[in-house]
Chains A and B, each alone.
Chain A
Amino acid sequence: MSQRITIDPITRLEGHGKIEIFLNEAGEVERAFLQVPELRGFEQFAVGRPVEEMPRITPRICGVCPTAHHMASTKCVDAVFHVEPTPTARKIRELIYNAFMMEDHTLHFFFLGGPDFVVGPQAPAAERNILGVIGKVGLEIGGQVIKIRREVRDIINYLGGKVIHPVCGLPGGVSKGLDEEHRLQFLEVARNAVEFARFALKIFDDVVLKNKEYVDLVLSDAYKLTTYYMGLVDANNRVNFYDGWIRVVDPEGKEFAKFKPADYLDHIAEHVEPWTYIKFPYLKKLGWRGFIEGKETSIYRVAPLARLNASDGMATPLAQQEYERMYEVLGGKPAHNTLAFHWARLIEALQAAEAMVALLEDKEITSPDIRRIPTDTPTEGVGVVEAPRGTLIHHYKTDERGLVTEANLIVATMNNSAAITMSIEKAARAFIKGGKISEGLLNLAEMAFRPYDPCHACGTHALPGDMPLIINIYDYRGELIEILKRD
């Protein structure tokens, strides 16, 4: 009897997401599809808008990571006007950006990814959420999580106007500077953030790494996917979230390409499938080869583990120590273990916090020299940042008045869309045997996409319960024969 399994909704991936799993007559997984049933058309309705308004329009692509869009867009507008931000403006932007990476990453750990480990993959669903985490680590720490999130987000609120959809980016700089009083106040927050990130890594250590069962899960084949990796690096090939070169390594870890963001079209192409609204980016020079992994694949992955794989190390000392330790445990670079994205995320949070401290210790950040007024005629530009969920590319062309004539966007999670589909298929193959669907499938399937941090960390997984997840099983006539539900 052939079966169809629908997991709907899985959670937010550039909007909504739905998984369809098809079993053959023997009850083995034949094919899995991740469908994204949503499209909004930003690339079209950007046309005609003044290009300097794009940093205020494009954050609405994603309210979970609006700061990433705001920053990629602002950098793109710099490029369109051929203007560089002043040194102080750049520092302010990097401060905002690292604050954003730090709060987004740590909160993911406590609210979304962490519960699987901290509370346990086999724990009752009702406990596998932030409340369960608090139960395990104590209310005091739970309070710290909420507090640090608020304090770090307040930095973005102060400089960006709004933490949900910041507005401060202008070509050549930022609209608001930082005074000495706030520098000192934020420096203290940043120092606490470093301690907090280290503490989160310690929890990961105690809970995951000291538990053989978890380590085996992390290293298991079900959660392994062999692909290329992409990430921004600085001049020394160290991880950078705000700027640099896009570097790609092959499945064996060798450098495959390193290019300036403006040359992305030579390296990245997007494939269209008729069954989903999302497109599938791949390495252009290799051509689209389908949903396959291994040496022959043309699919690359982005986001925390991919960035670490694509770099030679972290840019800050404490994070570098953790980086070395991680690869020691995982057995070298590159690591293809999807669950290790959670670990890499915490190492990145530590780098972001360390970077915040360094930026705030530098008094130049309080200089009033925060804008450079563009004088060139606007033309075309590309702006790239590393969003928490991966490489994010904005590309605009304008007329001589700076009105957008063309826009192209390659959005973070989208880069991973093929890999997420394949990860789910692989986990499903490992856990569905002979048509028997284990009760644990629900969470085990969920755990195959959660490492990619499909956006809605807090809203869905945190309060008041858990992300709803439903698997409906149909027989070959399309009749509902069983409902597995966890909510």
Chain B
Amino acid sequence: MSKPKVAFYWCASCGGCEEAVVDLAEKILKVVEAVDVVFWPVALDFKKKDVEAMPDASIAVSFINGSVRLSEQEEMVHLLRRKSQLVVAFGSCAHLGGIPGLANFWNKEAIFRRAYFTTPSTVNPDKVVPQEKIVVEGKELTLPAFYDTVRALDQVIDVDYYLPGCAPPPQLVWNAVVAILEGKLPPKGSVLSPNKSLCDDCDRNKTKPEKLSIKEFKRPWEIMLDPEKCFLAQGVICMGPATRTGCEERCISANMPCRGCFGPTDQVYDQGAKFLSALASLIEAKDEKEIEKIVETIVDPAGTFYRFSLPKSILGRRKMEAIK
């Protein structure tokens, strides 16, 4: 029997997801033995022709990381969808939009203006901006189109499974590979990590009082962080209550609070809204004014509660008319 064909592709991503695969370390040799990697890490136009030449559904599984920001990425993921039996959204960006999704607080115009005009080191008296098509000394050069909005993978194509995390821990990647190879997959649409909150697995949970009563939020730099105690009990925002577990509490092991890269559990659509509702029950205040005062100590609620999930939230993006 021929080995299953596997593809890897990256969209708007940092390469950390590829590193996560390499971090399988010794196990990677087993992966190479078991599968036939037909496409990794990716190619653009011309490798695309090779994929186009493959029969539809001939790739057993495509692991796609990164969010979708450029025309080229959009075309490529449609192509891979057609050629693949399974598509796995690999990592936070493909799953939820990820950190690059924070760009949805702005648009192409604002991003270009900053990058090419207003950054203090940029010297651009002629107001040159990169063009999708340009003729330089008689030679035509092209660049992919840059969209206003960053999207998660399932906002562009149908996705079968999600492997969460920024980046996904090697053990989780390994579990997913084994599940696929053995055909022991959960129902379509599943996130391949346990369906419970980070707090359920967190060692510090036992230090969380029955009823939290927060009177003021602290930023991580403002206090000496207790290495044993629940962050929320210290008044520090920790996304644990609204975040799925499976990350091995890596940030918490370094004595830093969770920022939510695993996204919400199955029961929740909007991670930020879930966190807000969790938060409401933690605030100790007598009246509205006091609530307001306490909430004001959260300095960047949108950028914190939706750190990894803005494109997949009910907000999706900021309305740019509102800025002007």
Q: Which residues of A contact B (CB under 8 A)?
A: 4, 6, 8-9, 12, 16, 18, 20, 22, 31, 33, 35, 37-41, 43-45, 48-50, 52-53, 56-57, 59-64, 66, 77, 81, 143, 146, 149-150, 153, 157, 159-168, 170-172, 175-176, 264-265, 268-277, 279, 281, 284, 288, 371, 373-374, 395, 401-403, 408, 410, 455-456, 458-460, 462-465, 468, 470, 472, 483, 487
Contacts and interface: CB of A to CB of B under 8 A. Distances in A.
A9 B43 contact: yes
Nearest to A175: B255
Contacts of B124: 271-272
A437 to B, nearest CB: 16
Contacts of B46: 6, 8, 470, 472, 483
A32 to B, nearest CB: 10
A211 to B, nearest CB: 29
Contact of A52 (B123, B221, B303): B221
B19 A459 contact: yes
A373 B254 contact: no
Q: Name the residue in B29, B100, B123, B146 with the highest tally of chain A Cβ atoms < 10 Å from its Cβ.
A: B123
A175 B223 CA distance: 11
A467 B130 CA distance: 27
Contact of A66 (B16, B137, B141, B253): B16
Nearest to A45: B102
Contacts of B167: 63, 162, 164-165
A166 B254 contact: yes
Interface of B: 12-23, 25-26, 28-29, 32, 37, 40-47, 69-70, 72, 98-100, 102-103, 105-106, 110-116, 119-124, 128-131, 134, 136-137, 139, 141, 143-144, 146, 166-167, 219-225, 227, 250-256, 259, 299-300, 303-304, 307
B106 A44 contact: yes
Given A8-B45, A50-B219, A458-B19, A165 B106 contact: no
26 contacts: A8-B45, A12-B41, A16-B44, A37-B70, A39-B115, A43-B114, A43-B119, A50-B219, A62-B14, A159-B254, A161-B251, A162-B251, A164-B23, A164-B166, A165-B16, A167-B251, A175-B220, A270-B119, A270-B122, A275-B143, A373-B223, A403-B300, A408-B121, A458-B22, A470-B46, A483-B46
Given A9-B42, A62-B15, A165-B166, A459 B139 contact: no
A59 B13 CA distance: 11
Contacts of B139: 4, 20, 22, 31, 33
A63 B143 contact: no
A53 B100 CA distance: 15
Given A52-B219, A275-B131, A371-B224, A268 B121 contact: yes
Contact of A149 (B25, B98, B110, B252): B25
Contacts of B130: 39, 272-277
Contacts of B225: 175
Contact of A48 (B29, B128, B137, B300): B300
A167 B122 contact: no
B121 A281 contact: yes
Contacts of B128: 272-274
A60 B19 contact: no
A212 to B, nearest CB: 35
A274 B130 CA distance: 4
A284 B227 CA distance: 47
Contacts of B166: 60, 164-165
A41 B141 contact: no
A44 B43 contact: no
Q: Name the residue in A41, A143, A265 with the highest tally of chain B Cβ atoms < 10 Å from its Cβ.
A: A41
A48 B105 CA distance: 10
